[in-house]
Structure 1
């Protein structure tokens, strides 16, 4: 008999790419279900240290399930309430700035004319940087998040089911270590990295949100609580999260307080972000993500396309899960592991 010949590398890559496209488009078609499932999984992983702490103290099983579950539910309900009220206030507030925007355009046209710029060039700038359009994008983002969180019943049911199954799942995975050691190790690494990423990002996101709210309150920018919550949520979005958190309050500061207030908001956000994200956060986060900058940005694009705004927020955990299942669980995929992490072995 002729021994089985391995498939050519090019054909393997082509088939793998085709399968990935089919799977991603399939997930996209059921994103209204897949999104809450992934969110529930990530939240269960995030609060698992609470369950472990209770288990170490031999608390009853019902308490090990109830306490983490209630923590997550209270956080979700609070987020839904804040986002809903704030988005309603923003929708009511925006029409009141029509006059201020028209005045800003008129002043800009007068300044452009005095400096030899044509109104046509200015009109293109106004179209590109229309504050109302930027704030409208903020409304769309907040509306999408509210739409996801409004599936609260489904998320809560999934959370409860996963919380109840967590102890049994941990036992099953530990028993499989002898048969599939690489897969078990990969899943354990995924859980550890995801939990560390979420906890550290949440702590620093809260610090950023509080500092941003204080700065906006001192500058009398409307809706500081909304922009603080947006800063916290955007902290989970890699690469472009800072820009998403900065643009809406900056445009509102321009409409409400003028150019000086806008500049002060930009300076405050940059200072806060540089201090916390560039100097302090890397020391605590370390190598928790294990993805190159390019892979992080690609994952942001892919998961946003598949799951919408929720995919942008969960891009890092989803990429870590994909890496665990497809790369870290395969001992022969060292080259792929080095490619996505940027750290060659040895």
Structure 2
């Protein structure tokens, strides 16, 4: 009897309060789907805005420091924007100089790649001979994966190699283990191993050109990004007061201040750690004599913002270059340096400095990387953790969805307290 009365009172309260909680949750889920679809469709507009907000969050501490030194808000923002533009120009200069040097030294790297390929295929030939001497058949397996080592002619010059290979193709007998194409009854042999085409300097230059074109397309929005950044920095100091005037209390200002404090804390710590990572790795590869050392340090700095996968992606190009430049010894040293730096900084220093401020589980970090990368591409991957932090903080200040923030937390701690202004009964 008492149980039925409690149930009837609960139904009555939900009816008096308006929409039932289940319907509100369903409506919220549908709204999220529509919102995500809209964000993905409007990526060409939102991505520059996100970049501007990211730069603004990094620049706000400098604006505050300059204002404490007595500069007016406008002059402090102007000086900060000058520093931002100088840093951006320096980064573009390092990248462009590295790619220009790669294009100028293309012939040298092509020769090194040919020597590397010839050495690998000679080693494959010796391995095949040793295995066959011991009664192990390797014809099909090695032929499908590495091609026939007898087809390799490392002595050909860059100018003569394509001509001689093209002239030899129609008369070449079908060798064992090579791919063929039957046209007009003639077999055309492909002598190159498929995996060795990864070391094609022409393909690398083409990929670099495509990357530069993508960067150029991004820089077409540079003026828009700079304008948005300037206005955000000008409005940042007065926005909390506008919130207080708009809502009549300091609750909105408190929530906004908490979001901005967490973001600034995360970005400042992450930027300092990324700079340390980039400098250490840049100095390491420079000591080893690897070409384009400033570029690899810059790449390690930028990709360190991407959790989990960024450090792995940053290590691939310098390791491949070391493999071509001086062989496996240098490649192992470069890989060992990246491994040690990322393990020490990523597993010990960064968690100690971040502490519980980040407050996201490893699974949530990885899923946010995949999700925001799908929505906004590389920029979404770069900003995946800050964006997820904003979502988590907003959920912590929601009465109905506070439990989601608890599930996203990376540490076992007490449930976040209800936002100020809500009673314990309402929670």
- What is the TM-score with the length of structure 1 in the denominator? 0.86
- In the alignment, what sits opposite 1:119? 142
CA distance, structure 2, for counterparts of residue 120 and residue 173 of structure 1:
70
CA distance, structure 2, for counterparts of residue 184 and residue 329 of structure 1:
13
Shift of 1:177: 6.9
Shift of 1:107: 3.6
8 Å contact from structure 1 (residues 37, 155) kept in 2? yes
Distance 1:7 1:107, change over 3 A: farther
CA distance, structure 1, for counterparts of residue 248 and residue 126 of structure 2:
74
- In the alignment, what sits opposite 2:158? none
Distance 1:338 1:54, change over 3 A: same
Shift of 1:228: 0.7
CA deviation digits over 1:196-250, x for unaligned, max 9?
2221222221221121112211222211111111000011001101101111101
- In the alignment, what sits opposite 1:19? 31
2:359 matches 1:336: no
- In the alignment, what sits opposite 1:306? 375
8 Å contact from structure 1 (residues 44, 159) kept in 2? yes
Distance 1:166 1:266, change over 3 A: same
8 Å contact from structure 2 (residues 145, 194) kept in 1? yes
2:57 matches 1:45: yes
- Larger-Rg structure: 2
- In the alignment, what sits opposite 2:75? 63
* Greater alpha carbon shift after TM alignment, 263-272 vs 101-110: 101-110
The two structures, once aligned, show a CA RMSD in angstroms of: 3.1
8 Å contact from structure 2 (residues 393, 405) kept in 1? no
2:118 matches 1:106: no
Equivalent residues, number: 343
2:176 matches 1:164: no
- In the alignment, what sits opposite 2:42? 30
Question: Whose RCO is larger (CA < 8 A, sep 6+)?
Answer: 1
- In the alignment, what sits opposite 1:239? 308
CA distance, structure 1, for counterparts of residue 72 and residue 328 of structure 2:
59
Shift of 1:180: 7.0
8 Å contact from structure 2 (residues 368, 388) kept in 1? yes
Q: Which structure 1 residue ranges, 5 or more long, are not aligned?
A: none
Q: Identify which of 361, 375, 378 aligns with 1:292.
A: 361
CA distance, structure 2, for counterparts of residue 328 and residue 79 of structure 1:
38
CA distance, structure 1, for counterparts of residue 363 and residue 345 of structure 2:
22
Matches within 5 A, 1:143-162: 144-145=214-215, 147-162=217-232
Q: Identify which of 162, 165, 190 aligns with 2:259.
A: 190
8 Å contact from structure 1 (residues 295, 340) kept in 2? yes
CA distance, structure 1, for counterparts of residue 207 and residue 342 of structure 2:
20
8 Å contact from structure 1 (residues 190, 324) kept in 2? yes
Distance 1:262 1:225, change over 3 A: same
- Partner SS for 2:237: helix
- In the alignment, what sits opposite 2:91? 79
CA distance, structure 1, for counterparts of residue 362 and residue 25 of structure 2:
23
Distance 1:20 1:70, change over 3 A: same
8 Å contact from structure 1 (residues 83, 142) kept in 2? no
